[in-house]
Amino acid sequence: MKLATWNINSLTVRLPQVLDWLAANPVELLALQELKMTDDKFPHAAFAAAGYQSVCFGQKTYNGVALISKAPAQDVVRNIPGFDDDLARVISASYQMPDGSATDSSINSASSNLDKRLRVIGAYFPNGQEPGSDKFEYKLAWLDALRAWVRSELVQHPHLVLMGDYNITFDDADTWDPEGMRDQIHCTDEERYQLQALVALGLADAHRLFAQPPKSYSWWDYRDLAFRRNHGMRIDHILISNALKSAATACWIDKTPRKNERPSDHTPVLIEFANCNLGRTHAPG
């Protein structure tokens, strides 16, 4: 089973690229960020024709998130419950997994009352604009709310994936220019502390569970020939709960869509789990 996340920076512009990418990369689930469209414009039919169901949470001009999946989404929640927010940044849902799939056996056998479904949170974290700005304060408040909510979600849903555009680097290895970016947005101590606090709830950065090429990034500025020079940052992440760690077999960044005509400035990040076919109810063969 493969899952992916991709900030597509306008689904209106990028829908053909997303469909092309899904045809070449038939993941079980794809989380999208920055739809930049209202729900009435969401192309459910185009995804259905490609074999995918979709749930979305859009808004005009900015933000907007969606989950595209082969299996139906259950218990869909939009944004962070209890956190008053005008911006469409988070969508989460549960997906049925067959018995004996990508779940920690100790969890399964010892706690039969726990939710065995996969819980997926797709999120577009605030940018923050500039340290000290109002938008930066909003980013920190949003991160506080997210962490409190994810803590309780982990209790309810042991098999949790939190993925999307985090707009935060873990450390200097996640940026092409650590000195130039020091204390700049995406690289401040406050943001990185928040990211570590999220991990400390019982999550793992899937990227770092596996060997990766040096200077692996998920975003490159449109300016300065940044992609060609690999002047990028790793700000799109897949965090998985500890109960899923043993089932993860690979995590990688697919740079090929960044080479498209009119690309998104972000590129997809994928994770693979063994022995799990999300939503497949029939035996193979």
Nearest distance in Å: CB 118, DNA: 26
Token pair 């060609």: residue: 228
Concatenate the DSSP letters of all residues of 43-83 into one string: -HHHHHHTT-EEEEE--SSS--EEEEESSPPEEEEES-TT-
Please report whether residue 116 would count as binding DNA according to CB under 7 A. no
**Partners of 77 in the β-ladder:** 92
Please report whether residue 192 would count as binding DNA according to CB under 7 A. no
DSSP strands (E only) in 47-195:
53-57, 65-69, 74-78, 90-95, 118-124, 160-165
Could you tell me the sign of the dihedral formed by the alpha carbons of 114, 159, 197, 80, in that order? negative
Binding mask 65-104 for DNA (x = CB under 7 A): ----------------------------------------
Please report whether residue 193 would count as binding DNA according to CB under 7 A. no
Evaluate whether 248 touches 240 at the Cβ level (below 8 Å).
Answer: yes
What residues from 40 to 69 belong to the interface with DNA (CB under 7 A)?
A: 60-62
Please report whether residue 208 would count as binding DNA according to CB under 7 A. no
Please report whether residue 141 would count as binding DNA according to CB under 7 A. no
What residues from 8 to 37 belong to the interface with DNA (CB under 7 A)?
A: 9-10, 12-13, 34, 36-37
Distance CA(221)–CA(198), nearest Å, equals 27
Of the pair 75, 177, the CB lying nearest DNA is at: 177
Please report whether residue 137 would count as binding DNA according to CB under 7 A. no
Nearest distance in Å: CB 176, DNA: 11
Please report whether residue 6 would count as binding DNA according to CB under 7 A. no
Backbone angles phi, psi at 58, to 5 degrees: -110, 175
Q: For residue 118, give the nearest of 250, 284, 31, 240 by alpha carbon.
A: 240
**Partners of 33 in the β-ladder:** 7, 65
Of the pair 219, 273, the CB lying nearest DNA is at: 219
Evaluate whether 273 touches 118 at the Cβ level (below 8 Å).
Answer: no
Binding mask 152-191 for DNA (x = CB under 7 A): -------------x-x-----------------xx-----
Residues of this chain that interact with DNA (CB under 7 A) are 7, 9-10, 12-13, 34, 36-37, 60-62, 126-127, 129, 135, 165, 167, 185-186, 219, 221-224, 233, 235, 262, 265-266
